Structure 1
């Protein structure tokens, strides 16, 4: 099973990009925090200042280090200001994380099956998949921690004789992780290095661990942006950063701590479906055997897992993506467990898991066909439907090939996201940004115009991407904007704020209308009676272009 002939890590990474790509590279779903990074990146392109992040309202934002902003900026520079460009490097970071997991397992274990299964588990991890579809820090943090994980595992494998490449991977990986999200990376990195120095099974000497060139390079990378911001803006930026990292994120209520702790612990297991189910057989005995075989590795896994669960418990609002930094290491441990307990030989159980995901995929495909049959669609959406059907048929035919069942299960999990984009196409696309882009082109709005936006900031971010660098759109506070309207050439107003605008001072035209996700039930019902356009007009979210009179 999982023979070398049938497995390629590059093929698995490519499958990750191809199958997750349609869901990621357009705004089928838009995560709220993406606006912070895409808004700042557009501003960086317009001003040339790539060090200082700004909000869409032109306020400074220092809550996160700079690396995530630069990933969005790099996409914009290479591919233009588009949804695709804002997310492409995050999708590739997700695929790269799978590759680093494979590398780490290959370093630690002589049995190549562990590396292959670890990579398969990581590629089908829903937290990684969802994080790779968003231009927010978490997938970058996961990738950078996966890089440093390879370094940690090199020390566990070779001890004081670890080649220098593992020093570079450890320290540079942690430095990059710190430039992505700050203190969580420092906490995990500090615990990991303390563990290497103190654990009784494979203790590393201080002189061997802290290789000066790698340490200094890591410090320069980790501190660069913070020094630059202090030089330009003084200590005020640090207050905002510390408040985000420690202040507003740390909860102090006992029940909240307990709830988050339990939720983090449970999700850390449940999110490995279906793989953890195969590891339940004799889990106590097998876990003890793994500890006896490689105590140093198991100790690091336990330390990091407990650390991330405890850190997640302390936040005021818990998100499953907070677990991502330790998922690479946990995937390697789980892959090793499944190899050791003989789960690869449970052909009937694996086949049942495959058939379950194939059925789920078929259900998702039918929903997509339903929406696209009754609503305006295009050739590429129907090509996706055909691809999903043919791929499902192929996977079904291969169900009796026991050697490839694990890979087939991973593909079927990834295919769920590919298939889901068929339905979300009708709900979310074209997004308001692309509709406004068409509107300004059709109306020949002069480039360089200053536009005031009054509405939901998440939609405003998509519109800013649609307008690109040719227009200057500023978000105004809906509670206090009247005195500022005269400073702009045009205004763009969400429907619920339209009544606040003096009607005698502006002429209005509908620039965009989208389905409102709150009325998805009404949307589905309207297809039966063939009045979807009327329902969309009545319940959809509208944005009005205002021209001063």
Structure 2
């Protein structure tokens, strides 16, 4: 492990941004829920109303608090409407989460190796990485809960002599987390505060915990959007919010609850890949030792982990990203355990794991070279390929020094996402939104035009980002298409919906064509046989621009 003097958390955070960035900042993959936030942010730019959130169809949506929408909106305001700007602040939030984890560990532990290892584990956690590539609430919730965790750790460290800055960190972190996702932050925060008041090992006086300037500031932030929506829309908006937070997400069937609990428990351990491997031997022994040494800290971590497992168990559909709010705290504890368990002496095992990831990265690189050698590509992709090869060489050099192995393992996990983007460049880019943007520019479509859209809503969201706020695009569905399509200056239709359009009244042209990943075998064969464009046209996803005659 690098010494405290030459270990820089800024280096790890920068490596995270640079290696995850190519995959995150274009639509190599597009997560379904992103459309709710980017569609609403485009509407905010068009209307100037930054309080109210709308779907692409123009319907109101109150299922989540406002802060995620504002992160997307801030990216659009700073850098223009694009895939890059919709996700940039979420990628930076992922990097900031690593910083908060490092800081929390450094607050509590005198052994600098714990903080260093915690940062490396957090940087390579697949849930953090994937959440940082999507403009949805989870990575923001994780970041702000990591921020609040640093505040909680301050109280666990200093007790009733805790400096006031930790009150600010704790309450502001929880307040922002609540404005991201609502009840999960409130539940974890409430449990954490109750624990500080009643745990028998490090009780905090109520007068100390209730530091009113920080507490009131937190309450103002947490309640702001809810008060604003009540003022603007009345109490009806709460029905949608409560249904999403409680009604739709809570399962009542015992089998489903048991299944979710089992999956969540397994993933809580398994997703710390590959670091959990080092904890198997002597886990029971070292757990008892750590609990005996720091009962309040270990008890708090266990409480939060159990709480998130139980909350994940009762949802109607479980996603691994639901675990992210407590992963920062669990990461700090795991790093502490691994240092005590002698991870730094397990050189052979670390080298074996590094060589596994090295081989996986090399295979991904070869696939990327194949795709880009067989198809037209960008000069920058070849730069990325060369850069990947140089990093692999760097990792090979790092593998010779035992102290550098944890850093090399963490970087090798991050490099997987950097390498995958080399191949997905050919599959996904330019996305349908960028194709339609180019088409509108080529055809000189008038700014301010009203455009109706009928097709897959996730693709529609990418098209809305491609067109930007200068065009007013509205999502339609099959039920209302016949009543609405005449109201628009232009239409964009997915291929399967063309039959609904009276062809004698519209001029129809192909505006976007992308590979369909479900036809990967045909795509690979077409590339190998040299007729990729023909196969792409036959099996790809097509979207058409319709102009009234």
TM over 0.5: yes
Name the SS of the counterpart of 1:4 in structure 2: coil
Shift of 1:212: 0.5
1:443 counterpart residue number: 443
| Offset, 1:371 | 1.1
Q: Offset of 1:345 from its aligned partner?
A: 1.1
Cα distance in structure 1, aligned partners of 2:423 and 2:206: 55
What is the CA-CA distance between 1:398 and the residue it aligns to? Answer: 2.0
Q: Name the counterpart of 2:411.
A: 411
Partner of 1:536: 536
Tell me which residue corresponds to 1:401. Answer: 401
Q: State the alpha-carbon separation in 1 of the partners of residues 149 and 29 from structure 2.
A: 31
Q: What does residue 366 of structure 2 align with? A: 366
Alignment match, 2:467: 467
Written as runs of structure 1 = structure 2, the 5 A alignment for 1:517-528 is 517-528=517-528
Q: Secondary structure, in 3 states, of the residue corresponding to 1:331?
A: helix
For residues 350-408 of structure 1, give each alpha carbon's deviation from its aligned partner in whole angstroms, at most 9, with x where no partner exists: 11111111011001111111111111111011111111111101211221111111001
1:501, distance to aligned residue in structure 2 (A): 1.1
2-side partners of 1:120 and 1:392: how far apart? 18
d(CA) in 2 for partners of 1:399, 1:6: 18
SS of the equivalent of 2:130 reads: helix
User: Which residue pairs with 1:138 in the alignment?
Assistant: 138
What is aligned with 1:507?
507
- Within 5 A, what are the aligned runs for 1:250-265? 250-265=250-265
Match of 2:61?
61
Within 5 Å, give how 1:275-354 maps onto structure 2: 275-354=275-354
Look up the match of 1:223.
Answer: 223
Q: Distance in 2 between matches of 1:493 and 1:62?
A: 28
The alignment's TM-score, normalised by the length of structure 1, stands at 0.99
Counterpart for residue 32 of structure 1: 32
Kept in 2, the 8 Å contact 1:510–1:544? The answer is yes
Write out per-residue CA displacement over residues 433-465 of structure 1, whole angstroms, 9 at most, x where no aligned residue: 000000000000000000000000000000000
Q: Distance in 2 between matches of 1:460 and 1:408?
A: 40
Tell me the equivalent position of 2:105: 105
1:427 and 1:517 in contact (8 A); partners too: yes
Aligned residues: 549
Residue number in structure 2 paired with 1:186: 186
Moved more, 1-10 or 83-92: 1-10
SS at 2:399's partner residue? helix
Q: CA deviation at 1:256?
A: 0.6
Distance (Å, rounded) in 2 between the aligned partners of 1:479 and 1:293: 64
Match of 1:205 in 2: 205
Partner of 1:420: 420
Offset at 1:482? 0.9
Deviation at 1:2, TM superposition (A): 2.3
Structure 1 residues 126-135 or 335-344, which shifts more?
A: 335-344
* TM-score (structure 2 length as normaliser): 0.99
| 1:519-546 Cα deviation digits (max 9, x unpaired) | 1111011112111111001001111100
Q: 2-side partners of 1:474 and 1:520: how far apart? A: 31
The separation in 1 between residues aligned to 2:101 and 2:546, in whole angstroms, is 52
Aligned to 2:547, what secondary structure does the other structure show? Answer: strand
SS across alignment from 2:468? helix
Alpha-carbon offset, residue 280 of structure 1 = 1.1
What's the counterpart of residue 494 of structure 2?
A: 494
Match of 2:20 in 1: 20
- Please, which moves more after superposition, 475-484 or 136-145? 475-484
SS of 1:57's partner is: coil
SS of structure 2 residue aligned to 1:547? strand
Distance 1:20 1:376 in 2: 24
Distance 1:479 1:287 in 2: 59
Distance in 2 between the 1:160 and 1:394 partners?
47
For 2:347 and 2:363, locate their aligned partners in 1 and report how far apart those are by CA, in whole Å.
24
Partner of 1:88: 88
The answer (yes or no) to whether the contact 1:6–1:404 under 8 Å persists in 2 is no
Counterpart CA distance in 2 for 1:125 and 1:6 is 23
Superposed, which structure 2 residues align to 1:67-86 within 5 Å? 67-86=67-86
Deviation by residue 1:60-87 (Cα, 9 ceiling, x = unmatched): 0000000000000000000000000000
Q: Does 1:127 align with 2:127?
A: yes
- CA distance in 1: counterparts of 2:375 and 2:478, whole angstroms: 34
More off after superposition, 397-406 vs 212-221: 397-406
Give the distance between the partners of 2:229 and 2:305, measured in 1 at CA: 33
SS of the aligned residue for 2:140 comes to helix
Deviations 1:302-347 (A, max 9, x none): 1000000010011111100000000000000000001111111111
State the secondary structure of the residue aligned to 1:166: helix
Cα deviation digits, residues 466-500 of structure 1 (max 9, x gap)? 00011000001122211111111000000011111
Partner of residue 479, structure 1: 479
* Separation of aligned partners in 2, 1:260 and 1:248: 15
Q: How far, CA to CA, are the matches of 1:68 and 1:292 in structure 2?
A: 40
Distance 2:254 2:505 in 1: 54
Aligned partners of 1:100, 1:87: CA distance in 2, in Å? 20
Tell me, in whole angstroms, the C-alpha distance in 2 between the residues paired with 1:32 and 1:348: 42
Query: d(CA) in 1 for partners of 2:544 and 2:125?
Result: 41
For 1:119 and 1:528, how far apart are their aligned partners in 2?
A: 42
TM superposition outliers: structure 1 runs of 4+ over 3 Å: none
* Separation in 2, partners of 1:416, 1:478: 40
Post-superposition shift, 1:6?
A: 3.6
1:172: which partner in 2? 172
Structure 1, unmatched stretches of 5+, are none
**Aligned partners of 1:515, 1:479: CA distance in 2, in Å?**
28
In structure 1, how many angstroms separate the alpha carbons of the residues matched to 2:490 and 2:195? 59
2:35 and 2:327 map into 1 onto residues whose CA distance is: 26
CA distance in 2, matches of 1:185, 1:87: 22
- Measure, in 1, the Cα distance between the counterparts of 2:261 and 2:298: 21
**Counterpart-to-counterpart distance in 2, 1:237 and 1:483:** 28
